[in-house]
A and B are shown apart, each in its own frame.
Chain A
């Protein structure tokens, strides 16, 4: 065990710190707008130039073209967070579509789509789940019928976040209706402005429409829209899903949220006493703290293993399951600490943080369910991590 930086990493850390000090005036207000504004795009460009965004994307496609080093990536995140600097764009196009194109796209597709996506000029949305195909995504029914050089798409997608703002969609459709379930799917990319596409906001229990439904009525796209093999869309989709799962349950965010909870419990009072002075609440807080620290250590263990190209096995399969649950529990304790005041929501003057703990609590339940339900995660852990049989079998 050695938690110190190597000399090379120390030097790299200083480099990042110097960059951030030098460019403090250039920090945009946010990188999280659905469509990055001018300040965000300029910041993104600056980051890519210095290798702090799109670090490993080849220069030919507008990235920094540097070798993958998970330790360097981590140092970038640590130093940016420490300096209060926004990290590079991490929208769906950048985190999911670009890696997929890099792995499976044609040269033409890479040249056409990667550079403007990295610049924040093209916004993407993901057309995967359908009302009838959630956990069983491969059962999807949105049909792409052949007509000359085009596909005609009919069907519906759901849980498409950013569909309202997106320029382009990457979409799974069934192109080979007679092929077995997993072999009949193709991964297409096409503009959201194509005639026949209708986006309807999808309100969730939070009261906000963080997601959308997308309806396709005779949407005509050229056959060249396929990424990867025609009929090989399931493979292509799995590349994307692998990158998505890595994003959920990040320990850094959890730690920040936990620290806000401690502050809340130190500031809120009931009958003149701070909530944190109540041993029952203090006990719950300490329990969550232990989990937060455990997940932090676990994250470092995984990072170190990947940096040294070691297999992570079962350890690598538990982050989404445990991390999302922990986030939800943290929000839950905040609400309990507030008591009836924890029920207050948007519009009530006395709602703490504008009711954001309640919003987080509910949205976190959505994250426990989305991106691979907790039950699916447990199936994966049991089958791929512990070797339990996928199907009903007799003893070997």
Chain B
């Protein structure tokens, strides 16, 4: 029995950690991240770096130069991306879309699309069923609105769900309009997509109906990893701050109350790591209850991450509340992850239903 990440998964995390520590250093006022989130800079060099590391191909098949990765591989990467609140569409563009194509597309569709994704000519946005999604399908034409779609950078296509199927549309085609979405979390690429009788291509694979639950489960596990990462960084920054900041003639980290805030935050997060590893592992091996596990993992991680985010901010004191340290970028990253694709109460209820607790 080996309940641990593999050597290569550890190395993946270490490589990504070094990459982001260089490109998005978190000290001071997190100015590099800030300049991207405030629109003075873009994420192009980050995306290029990701490509150089081969992470854009992590879930693509080896036939197109991909790494044929597992969800656990992707979740390992996502945790580090969350640690830096990196404004990258890794989760949707590079993990969920390939997963959907793998599961729901016909062999012909998969071959065409994987090649195009691999050479960068096809970039997919993703509209998963959300609270405010009502897309209807009639004769292969989609109408309705995805209020919280993941847009990605300069998407050429959009993958969506309607009528029990998964659909691929060209964004430039008639009947699709994209509108901006302003949330608290500028590190995420959320957008509104409106469909007005838009004709697209149905993913025609044998396993297509099973694709949607798989996508939701995978997305929830990735969001859990992202929140654990982001909250962990907040705790690290808070601890570093507590070792430096002096009040009453001593570093504030020497006060028991401050120690306890940090300890509680760190302790709450720690089991979440083993939990999302296990959930991803069960997803990858099609183990029993992976859907229920995905719900519980995301719900629990969201609560632990929120506790850690809140306590870290309090350790930072006024500086945590102020804009200038940029700590709030992580607070919002955690908060956004909490609401997307099911917040804790909704997911706890779904998990309860799945195991037959209701009559």
Contact = CB atoms under 8 A, between A and B. Distances in A.
Interface string B333-352: 00000000000110011011
A388 B244 CA distance: 10
A140 to B, nearest CB: 23
Contacts, number: 173
A386 B296 contact: no
A49 interface: no
Contacts of A290: 275, 296-297, 299-300, 348, 351
Interface in B219-273: 239, 242-246, 249-251, 253-254, 256, 258-260, 262-264, 266-267, 270-273
B281 A1 contact: yes
Contact of B3 (A279, A300, A395): A300
A248 interface: no
Contacts of A382: 253, 259-260, 262-263
B266 A386 contact: yes
A193 to B, nearest CB: 43
A257 interface: no
Contact of A286 (B2, B272, B296): B296
A282 B254 contact: no
A134 B58 CA distance: 54
Interface string A372-396: 0001011101110111111111111
Interface string B283-316: 0000000000100110110010000000000000
A88 to B, nearest CB: 22
B72 interface: yes
Contact of B270 (A266, A310, A315): A315
Contacts of A333: none
B296 A318 contact: no
B357 A2 contact: no
A289 B295 CA distance: 11
B2 A308 contact: yes
B259 A379 contact: yes
Interface string A284-309: 01110111011101101101110110
A293 B1 contact: no
Q: Which of B3, B256, B264, B293: most chain A CB closer than 10 A?
A: B3
Contact of B243 (A293, A317, A377, A395): A395
B266 A314 contact: yes
B319 to A, nearest CB: 15
Contact of A393 (B251, B258, B259, B359): B251
A112 to B, nearest CB: 39
B53 interface: no
Given A289-B296, A297-B278, A396-B243, A388 B262 contact: yes
A123 interface: no
B251 A394 contact: yes
Contact of A283 (B1, B271, B300, B349): B349
A322 interface: yes
Contacts of B266: 314, 318, 381, 385-386
B357 A282 contact: yes
Interface residues of B, number: 51
A29 interface: no
B6 interface: yes
Contacts of B239: 386-388
Contact of B348 (A286, A304, A315): A286
A322 B243 contact: no
B277 interface: yes
A5 interface: yes
Q: How large is the interface on A (under 10, 10 to 19, 20 to 34, 35 or more residues)?
A: 35 or more
B349 A297 contact: no
Nearest to B272: A294
Given A1-B6, A2-B1, A388-B253, A383 B348 contact: no
B180 interface: no
B154 interface: no
B358 A277 contact: yes
Nearest to B303: A287
A300 B1 CA distance: 9
Contacts of B349: 279, 282-283, 286
B174 interface: no
Contact of B254 (A308, A315, A322, A388): A388
Contacts of A282: 348-349, 352, 357-358
A9 B2 CA distance: 12
A9 B271 CA distance: 26
10 contacts: A1-B6, A276-B358, A279-B349, A283-B352, A286-B352, A287-B299, A293-B278, A300-B3, A385-B263, A388-B254
Interface of B: 1-6, 72, 239, 242-246, 249-251, 253-254, 256, 258-260, 262-264, 266-267, 270-275, 277-278, 281, 293, 296-297, 299-300, 303, 344-345, 348-349, 351-352, 357-359
Given A1-B6, A276-B358, 20 more contacts: A1-B72, A2-B2, A3-B281, A274-B359, A277-B359, A290-B299, A293-B278, A300-B3, A307-B1, A310-B4, A317-B267, A375-B260, A379-B256, A379-B263, A382-B253, A386-B239, A388-B253, A388-B262, A389-B243, A394-B251
- The 9 A-B residue pairs with the shortest CB-CB distance, nearest first, are A382-B259, A290-B300, A286-B348, A297-B274, A304-B3, A298-B271, A378-B263, A381-B263, A294-B271
